[in-house]
């Protein structure tokens, strides 16, 4: 790839056989009085030629939906890549808009990184592997055996609404408790949720102590939580040994957790990290990237988020 874009004999509109070299990987500003040919050079020559070449590189099937593009009035343009043009009269008035959001290429980049990227632990740098239910169980017993655990299925995560229907369905399906905005309630005691505030709702699947005799029970609880979330997500509340009966000290406990879509675990250093959403990619809160768990430890046990997966992305 050349270090500049070489334009020879550009005579589009009012350009008078212009020859110039535009450096690549730099911010280049084209200035001049009205009618001097700024737009003819930037939009009708450079952008038009870059777009035309990109379209010609597509398959014949794809080109039939786009149509033939006009060749600009120029002898040659060398060193040009596919181009993107943003009109200064864009209808998007959002002050937080960027080039990536306006042209919607950022959505494709996010999907690309989520599908093809290999997640690494931010602490030790090793690859974070996907886990099956059995692996999650084994890792829990390695790191937290003897502790009391509450297995939960996240139903709503930081979204606005009253969610009366979802809570009613949980009760109809035989669930007794749910963790709503950091507090565990019996379903009949859940307070009315403010419609225009964000809420997090997790169905309590089971509460038990991480002992060997409860291994099959824990596995069933994990499978039930994953079934409730379509095989994507499960969360835990952990309490120190001897904190009372399983789940007792957790009732009414408040806490805050930053939670994302899919979890992986690095079995080398047992550090937990979270990846941003991939498929659905509701592309909100992307700039959090992979981040460590944040928890108010003074008022609640830590919450850990895991996901079932059979292969890494």
Q: Do 301 and 159 have their domain in common?
A: yes
The winner for highest mean pLDDT among 65-69, 143-147, 289-293, 301-305 is 143-147
Residue 9 structural domain: 4-86+96-105
How much is the pLDDT for 218? 92
How much is the pLDDT for 274? 36
Category of 79 on φ-ψ map: left (φ > 0), alpha (ψ -120 to 50) or beta = left
Q: Do 290 and 158 have their domain in common?
A: yes
Q: Do 149 and 40 have their domain in common?
A: no
Rounded CA gap, 114 and 5, in Å? 33
Q: Residue 61: pLDDT band by 50, 70, 90 thresholds? A: confident
- More confident call, 117 vs 266: 117
**Structural domain includes residue 297:** yes
**Which regions of the chain does DSSP assign to beta strands (E)?**
4-10, 18-23, 74-78, 148-160, 177-180, 183-186, 198-209, 234-239, 262-265, 272-275, 303-306
Q: Do 74 and 151 have their domain in common?
A: no
- More confident call, 249 vs 233: 233
**Structural domain includes residue 277:** yes
Q: Do 65 and 186 have their domain in common?
A: no
How much is the pLDDT for 231? 77
Mean pLDDT of 130-137: 83
How much is the pLDDT for 242? 61
Among the ranges given (128-132, 151-155, 242-246), the one the predictor scored with the smallest mean pLDDT = 242-246
**Structural domain includes residue 119:** no
Q: Do 148 and 101 have their domain in common?
A: no
Q: In the chain, pLDDT over 90 holds for what percent of residues?
A: 35
In contact, 178 and 187? CB cutoff 8 Å: yes
Q: Do 206 and 251 have their domain in common?
A: yes
Q: CATH number for the domain including 44?
A: 3.40.50.300
* Phi, psi for 153 (deg, rounded to 5): -115, 110
Q: Do 221 and 291 have their domain in common?
A: yes
Q: Residue 273: pLDDT band by 50, 70, 90 thresholds? A: very low
Q: Do 74 and 218 have their domain in common?
A: no
Distance of CA 15 to the CA centre of its chain: 46
**Structural domain includes residue 276:** yes
Mean pLDDT of 89-105: 74
Domain count along the chain:
2
């Amino acid at each position: 790839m050349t270090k500049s874009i070489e334009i020879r004999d550009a005579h589009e509109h009012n350009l008078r056989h212009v020859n110039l070299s535009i450096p690549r990987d730099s911010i280049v500003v084209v200035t001049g009085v009205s009618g001097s040919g700024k737009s003819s050079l930037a939009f009708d020559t450079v952008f038009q030629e870059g777009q035309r070449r990109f379209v010609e590189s597509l398959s014949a099937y794809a080109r039939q939906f786009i149509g033939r593009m006009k060749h600009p009035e120029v002898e040659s343009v060398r060193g040009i890549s596919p181009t993107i043009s943003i009109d200064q009269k864009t209808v998007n008035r959002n002050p937080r808009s960027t080039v990536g959001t306006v042209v919607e290429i950022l959505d494709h980049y996010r999907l690309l990184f989520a599908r093809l990227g290999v997640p690494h632990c931010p602490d030790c740098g090793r690859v974070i592997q996907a886990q099956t239910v059995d692996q999650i169980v084994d890792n829990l017993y390695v790191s937290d055996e003897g502790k009391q655990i509450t297995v939960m299925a996240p139903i709503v995560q930081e979204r606005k609404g009253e969610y009366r229907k979802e809570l009613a369905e949980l009760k109809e399906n035989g669930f007794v408790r749910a963790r709503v905005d950091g507090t565990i309630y019996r379903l009949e005691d859940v307070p009315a949720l403010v419609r225009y505030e964000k809420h997090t709702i997790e169905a309590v699947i089971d509460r038990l102590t991480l002992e060997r005799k409860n291994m099959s029970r824990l596995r069933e609880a994990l499978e039930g939580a994953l079934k409730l979330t379509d095989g994507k997500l499960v969360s835990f509340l952990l309490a120190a040994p001897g904190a009372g009966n399983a789940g007792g000290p957790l009732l009414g406990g408040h806490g805050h957790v930053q939670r994302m879509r899919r979890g992986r675990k690095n079995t080398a250093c047992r550090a937990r990290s979270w990846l941003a959403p991939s498929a659905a990619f509701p592309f909100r809160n992307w700039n959090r990237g992979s981040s460590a768990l944040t928890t108010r430890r003074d008022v609640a046990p830590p919450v850990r988020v895991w996901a079932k997966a059979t292969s890494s992305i």
